[in-house]
Amino acid sequence: GQNIDQPTEMTATEGAIVQINCTYQTSGFNGLFWYQQHAGEAPTFLSYNVLDGLEEKGRFSSFLSRSKGYSYLLLKELQMKDSASYLCAVSYNAGNMLTFGGGTRLMVKP
């Protein structure tokens, strides 16, 4: 079976740093993705991890530990526009289908 867990909601202050955790148990693993989704819009790609360790991309970083089935997304210097849902997804099978967590709704306050 496929199971991906992430917190439902988080709140943070503008300019701060926030870490969104994701744990997964999946039959098959090709890689882990993070997407950002604003209300009523499509998910947009943020980051991809296939090997253990940290991937950094500007204000966003993502970490993966395959042995622990764990990932996190780190957002630095938070801006109001970062208020959105953040989706953790595992790619599996030869077709690289995605299994998503329920998403973490992040609210950035002034």
Partner 1 sequence: DTGVSQDPRHKITKRGQNVTFRCDPISEHNRLYWYRQTLGQGPEFLTYFQNEAQLEKSRLLSDRFSAERPKGSFSTLEIQRTEQGDSAMYLCASSLPRLAGREDTQYFGPGTRLTVL
Residues that bind partner 1 (CB under 8 A): 4, 30-31, 33, 35, 40-45, 48, 87, 89, 91, 93, 95-103
Closest CA to 84 of 32, 57, 44: 44
Instruction: Write down the least CB distance from residue 103 to partner 1, Å.
Output: 5
Q: List Cβ neighbours of 84 (8 Å cut-off, separation of 6 or more).
A: 36, 37, 38, 39, 105, 106
Residue 46 vs 74, nearer CB to partner 1: 46
Residue 33 vs 63, nearer CB to partner 1: 33
Residue 89 vs 108, nearer CB to partner 1: 89
Instruction: Read off φ and ψ for residue 18, nearest 5 degrees.
Output: -135, 145
Instruction: Write down the least CB distance from residue 46 to partner 1, Å.
Output: 10
Instruction: Write down the least CB distance from residue 58 to partner 1, Å.
Output: 17
Question: What is the distance between the alpha carbons of residues 13 and 79, in angstroms, rounded to a whole number?
Answer: 8
Closest CA to 104 of 82, 89, 87, 80: 87
Residue 70 vs 100, nearer CB to partner 1: 100
